[in-house]
Amino acid sequence: MSDHPHGLRDPERSPTRQTAGLPRSRRALAAGSVGNFIEWYEFGVYGYFATIIAANFFTPVGGSDVEGLIKTYASFALAFFFRPVGAALFGHVGDRIGRRPTLILVILLMTGATTMIGLLPSYATLGPAAPWLLTFLRVLQGLSAGGEFGGAVSIMTEFAPQGRRGLYGSWQSFTVALGLLAGAGMAALLATALTGDDLHAWGWRVPFLLTLPLGLAALWLRLRLEETPSFQQARQAREDPADGRIGQETVQPGRPRTADVVKAVALGAGRIMGWSAAGYTFLVVMPSYLQSTLNATLSQALVATVLANLGFAAAIIPAGMLSDRLGRRAVMVAGTALVAVLAFPLLNLVQDPGASILTKGLAVTTAGALVGLMAGPGPAMLAEMFPTGARYTGLGLAYSLSNAVFSGSAGLIITEMIKRTHDVDIPAYYAVVTCVVSLPALLTLRGDDHRHRLRD
């Protein structure tokens, strides 16, 4: 007799799962990771080249550089605010027809929109239509990015072996770090290899155009992807409700109450608020902050960002693995609390003209690693909050809402507040406040959630 609480076969313990699960789980990791890599590679490139994009698209002749940068970040933020729309749209499709076809559609939209940015005429050529077209493409990217996270984390965690969801889910965050690092590395390479005029004229387009071959590789991987056992089980239960009959009671797996999903989405967004805000502050906004506020060169700013992302990447996988042993709550609370305590001291080291290059490098690397402590367990934590029938939608919405409010707006808020107050500590204030607010939500996590299998 099955030991499943609803009398349904547990896909994680089936013979097929045990014999074929490892290869399938690896394919799931590859197919989910490559989309995340492309998404964050592009978002990183956009953030790292924000000052150049501002000059090309948002600063007419005679316009203010600061105003152009603020408009660039406004476009950046707008794309993030379309992420929840994409999460709801693609999540609904992914929870109804499957993870695989939805992720294929998402990668096609993401690749097309990003490639078009690399081909888009600038303000000098197209006039006022140029920033509007760029913003439209950013909106398409926001929609596709909203659909990417929920699907990628769903397949990673639903294919994960028992007791390793933290590790498997952490690959989503790890490929975020790899994408940001690749974007920073490409930006640093171009900034070193090209003259300033060439970089502003055409060099910035190269990273966007490289998305096309990356997207084709991602499409090939996703075409080979299988549907997850959890989704297949939920679909079978919907099609044959008698399978969910216990005595005289009929249960309907995959049909969670809307009110419960909405509550979980709000709680999930609160739990990752600090991760979203501190991550974008330290990993993406930092180059523009260093240039516009601390008068660093583009090369210096990019080197600092690479170091921060290296620290971020180095901490993610260990944090995910540690959460499989100690629990999501312990690791994420530790990371969030450490950011709240150390944000000001670390930023002050970066600002200190008397600090050595080594000291500043260690400061930004440490900042990135602290974000990694939150990002490693985060995907698995969100996946564990939702049943199969709402997992794609629920965790995608929680993540995209938090990112829309606290990540997408980070550059805009920080730049505007520094302009108004002339306080160079604004990035630390932003990270600390969001982490302090996020802590109570994280403390509501149960310490043993990581020991239970995913909800049906």
Structural domain contains residue 263? yes
Q: Is the pLDDT of residue 4 over 50?
A: no
State the pLDDT at residue 22.
53
Q: Angle CA(193)–CA(67)–CA(304) in degrees, nearest 5?
A: 40
Query: Residue 244 falls within a domain, yes or no?
Result: no
Instruction: Band the pLDDT of 249: cuts 50, 70, 90.
Output: very low
- Residue 115 CB coordination number (10 Å): 19
What average pLDDT does the segment 371-395 reach? 94
- Residue among 75, 117, 113, 108 nearest 90 (CA): 108
239: pLDDT strictly greater than 60? yes
Per-residue confidence (pLDDT) for residue 112, from 0 to 100: 94
In a domain, 245, yes or no: no
Contact assessment for residue 264 and residue 247, using Cβ atoms and an 8 Å cutoff:
no
DSSP H helical segments within 49-64, as ranges? 50-53
| pLDDT value for 66 | 66
Please give the Cα distance from 37 to 26 (Å, whole number).
16
Coil, helix or strand for 250? Answer: strand
pLDDT value of residue 81? 83
- Tell me how crowded residue 216 is: count the other CB atoms within 10 A of its CB: 11
**Is residue 2 in a domain?**
no
Residue 447 neighbours by CB distance under 10 Å? 11
Higher-pLDDT residue of 415, 442: 442
Q: Does residue 378 fall inside a structural domain? A: yes
Report whether pLDDT(5) > 60: no
Distance (Å) of CA 245 to CA 174, 238, 272, 418, 453:
41, 12, 37, 61, 21
d(CA 89, CA 95): 10
Domains in the chain, number: 1
Range 309-324 average pLDDT: 95
The owner of tokens 């239970």 is: 452
Give 391-410 pLDDT, tens digit per residue: 999 999 999 999 888 887 78
Average pLDDT over the chain, rounded to an integer = 84
Q: What is the predicted pLDDT for the residue at 250? A: 39
The pLDDT assigned to 61 comes to 59
Residue given tokens 């996270």 in the structure block: 149
Query: 27-80 pLDDT, tens per residue?
Result: 888 888 888 899 888 877 887 787 788 888 887 655 566 667 777 777 777 777
Residues contacting 410, CB < 8 A, separation 6+: 277, 280, 281, 284, 285, 430
Domain that holds residue 34: 20-239+254-451
Residue 1 lies in a domain: no
How many whole angstroms separate alpha carbon 32 and alpha carbon 412? 30
- 374 to each of 119, 367, 442, how far by Cα in Å? 36, 12, 10
Q: Does a structural domain hold residue 341?
A: yes
How much is the pLDDT for 440?
96
Give CA–CA dist 187/395, Å, rounded: 31
At 393, which CATH number?
1.20.1250.20
Mean pLDDT value across residues 7-30: 56
- Could you read off the pLDDT of 343-364 as tens digits, one per residue? 999 999 988 888 888 898 899 9
Q: How confident is the model at residue 337 (pLDDT cuts 50, 70, 90)?
A: very high
Q: Is the pTM of this model over 0.85?
A: no
Q: Is residue 79 part of a domain?
A: yes
pLDDT class of 6 with cuts at 50, 70, 90? very low
Kind plus residue range of the DSSP H or E element containing 59:
none
> What letter does residue 203 receive in the DSSP assignment?
G
Q: Which of 232-241, 329-338, 437-446 has the lowest mean pLDDT?
A: 232-241
The pLDDT of residue 242: 54
Q: What is the mean pLDDT of residues 211-220?
A: 93
- Structure-token pair, residue 218: 């991602």
Q: What are 246's strand-pairing partners?
A: 249
Lowest mean per-residue pLDDT among 151-155, 164-168, 306-310, 363-367: 306-310
What string of DSSP letters covers 189-201?
HHHHHS-HHHHHH
As a residue count, the chain comes to 456
